[in-house]
Structure 1
Amino acid sequence: MTAAAWSAWPAPAKLNLFLHITGRRADGYHELQTVFRLLDWGDTVHLRPRADGRIVRHGDDLAAVPEASDLSLRAAENLKKSFNVSEGADIRVEKRVPAGGGFGGGSSDAATVLMALDVLWGLQAGTGALAAIGAGLGADVPVFVHGHNAWAEGVGERLVPVELPPAWYLIADPGVHVATATLFQTPELTRDAPPATIVDFASGAPLGNVFEPVLRRLEPAIEATFQALSRAGTPRLTGTGSGCFVEFAAREPAEDALARLPQGLRARVVAGVSRSPLLDALAARSPQGRRQVAQGTGF
């Protein structure tokens, strides 16, 4: 039998255009509000079905991510278990999105594994079922499964699609990582922000990221990155990571600002998108992929 061929699938990064904590639930989780913006930049997930039922990850630096923490591996295993799949898969992630930056790289990789294996294994599970499996892996996974920009509440699982204008982003990675659990335990973290509305966001109200002052105090590299980006515009923090960004209405001023940044700062210009490139890849792959995209991307 001829071995199955590898296929390549996009896993786009995201930005949190703001992030609030509005309270704490009885189960200990925090109530959040945010807007997810998908980007035209991200990782590439390579997949190959296996007949022996094993899920095997490949790559040059697997030791950097323990198997128990590898969301792509867990996504494949959970999908296989949920639908009693006899096949397996080889997984190799071509990483571009830095870990700990708040750009959603690991969550997006997991979502791509779920969506692509659904097609490669011929499951026709449906977007809702795949998003539910994704929610068990991480709060950011469902938005990548649905593949559209979204207003999010709860722990990130309650999603409403939003239309966002074209925008370009100068993003920077300070190269540091503070554990999310540590951030949530910080005494000065604001945990009772007044709830915002989609109208507030659309009107341009300065909603901000509740983790920004905490991270700027804890990590000098983040503060230095904010200072460098402030020459180009108003810098913001994405998610609970160290990644920073400035928004522009056009590409040219973003590129000009990038050229003026200090040497050595890891930065790039990326575009916001209204639809995940993964959806286009799925639709191009097969009639099943087109059905999958058509049936469930409206949340």
Structure 2
Amino acid sequence: MTEVQEKVSGWGERWPAPAKLNLMLRITGRRSDGYHLLQTVFQIIDLCDWISFYPAEDGRVFLRDPIPGVPEQEDLTVRAANLLKQYTGCRLGVCIDVEKNLPMGGGLGGGSSDAATTLLVLNKLWNLKLPLDKLMELGLRLGADVPVFVYGYTAWGEGVGEELQSITLAEQWVVVIKPDCHVNTRQIFLAEELTRDSKPITMRDFIAGDWKNDCLPVVSNLYKSVGEAVDALSQYAEARLTGTGACVFAQFDSEESAREAFSALSPNWSVYLAQGLNRSPLYEKLEQGSV
């Protein structure tokens, strides 16, 4: 495939895999298979990994630069591509190049977003023509957060997070702190002290300020640096945990106030400055006509 063909078709281009925040998280029950039932609000933010795809003539799926210590076939982008091949019978191959910017184990959904971008873009590049609901269904096989990234909108989520309803929120500036720890999500959901019977709320309750995250007390107890990050960020705005963490975040009404907090916290913490989005930047690029 020539360089011109790659440019026209979308092969070799950089595709965004944005992060998300859980603006609240309530555990309302537990299924017989162990999965927790929840209510949450997902908001896309403009921090992104970037993924490029290159045709592989031999039909293999592989990474250009495998992550040290992570078996290549366990990487979520490789698993997503192989799942597409298995489901559709596609015999094409791909070399996947991931520019990793989002922290692992932070609750920002980086691996899930990478998988969703792989599903959506390869669906186009391989001309598979699977509908969105099927891609979301396949995404759920890879992880509970993958469907919201395939969906691509800020959303109210229920079930295990796969029952989604798009909502429109203010696209506020956010400051995110990544404490120096990697939270084990399984450990948090297995913790005896985790609240599992929160009363469900309505969207109106959330908009009125009911932003509780049931995981925060457990995570703060097990990972002291998370509690310290909450305390540090709380000096500038109300700090919250995203998902099971480790990242904590705060929303700001202006870019100026967010930048002030970011600058003040940067010397002592790993800090990110971002803006909330109601629509994934991946969909903006998919609609530019490059594929």
The normalised TM-score by structure 2 is 0.94
Paired residues of 1:110 and 1:141 also in contact (CA < 8 A): yes
Q: Summarize the alignment of residues 187-206 of structure 1 with structure 2, pairs less than 5 Å apart.
A: 187-205=192-210
The answer as to 2:161 corresponding to 1:125 is: no
Aligned counterpart, 2:95: 90
In structure 2, what is the Cα distance between the partners aligned to 1:18 and 1:192?
15
> Could you list the runs of 5+ residues in structure 2 that have no partner in the other structure?
none
Match of 1:58 among 56, 64, 74: 64
In structure 2, what is the Cα distance between the partners aligned to 1:36 and 1:64?
30
Kindly state the Cα deviation for residue 257 of structure 1 after the two structures are TM-superposed: 1.1
Aligned counterpart, 1:172: 177
Tell me which moved more, 96-105 or 166-175: 166-175
Paired residues of 1:101 and 1:175 also in contact (CA < 8 A): no
Kindly state the Cα deviation for residue 2 of structure 1 after the two structures are TM-superposed: 4.6
Aligned counterpart, 1:223: 227
Paired residues of 1:169 and 1:245 also in contact (CA < 8 A): yes
Paired residues of 1:49 and 1:120 also in contact (CA < 8 A): no
Q: Deviations over 1:239-265 (max 9, x none)?
A: 112000011111110101112226230
Aligned counterpart, 1:145: 150
Q: Deviations over 1:210-249 (max 9, x none)?
A: 1111111111211211121111111100011200001111
Aligned counterpart, 1:182: 187
Kindly state the Cα deviation for residue 196 of structure 1 after the two structures are TM-superposed: 1.2
Match of 1:24 among 30, 35, 49: 30
User: Letter of the aligned partner of 1:157 in structure 2?
Assistant: E
Aligned counterpart, 1:69: 74
Paired residues of 1:107 and 1:141 also in contact (CA < 8 A): yes
In structure 1, what is the Cα distance between the partners aligned to 2:48 and 2:186?
25
The answer as to 2:244 corresponding to 1:244 is: no
Match of 1:11 among 17, 20, 24: 17
Kindly state the Cα deviation for residue 7 of structure 1 after the two structures are TM-superposed: 2.0
Aligned counterpart, 1:274: 278
RMSD over equivalenced CA pairs, Å: 1.5
Paired residues of 1:80 and 1:86 also in contact (CA < 8 A): yes
Paired residues of 1:75 and 1:113 also in contact (CA < 8 A): yes
Paired residues of 1:189 and 1:211 also in contact (CA < 8 A): yes
User: Letter of the aligned partner of 2:55 in structure 1?
Assistant: P
Report the 3-state secondary structure (helix = DSSP H, G, I; strand = E; otherwise coil) of the residue aligned with 2:158. strand
Tell me which moved more, 8-17 or 45-54: 45-54
Aligned counterpart, 1:134: 139
Report the 3-state secondary structure (helix = DSSP H, G, I; strand = E; otherwise coil) of the residue aligned with 2:32. coil
Tell me which moved more, 147-156 or 181-190: 181-190
Identity %: 45
Report the 3-state secondary structure (helix = DSSP H, G, I; strand = E; otherwise coil) of the residue aligned with 1:7. coil
The normalised TM-score by structure 1 is 0.92
In structure 2, what is the Cα distance between the partners aligned to 1:266 and 1:210?
24
Tell me which moved more, 224-233 or 103-112: 224-233
User: Letter of the aligned partner of 2:136 in structure 1?
Assistant: A
Aligned counterpart, 1:257: 261
User: Letter of the aligned partner of 2:176 in structure 1?
Assistant: I
Paired residues of 1:67 and 1:73 also in contact (CA < 8 A): yes
Aligned counterpart, 2:55: 49
Tell me which moved more, 122-131 or 109-118: 122-131
Kindly state the Cα deviation for residue 111 of structure 1 after the two structures are TM-superposed: 0.3
Aligned counterpart, 1:296: none
Kindly state the Cα deviation for residue 188 of structure 1 after the two structures are TM-superposed: 1.1
In structure 2, what is the Cα distance between the partners aligned to 1:130 and 1:217?
37
Kindly state the Cα deviation for residue 175 of structure 1 after the two structures are TM-superposed: 2.5
The answer as to 2:217 corresponding to 1:209 is: no
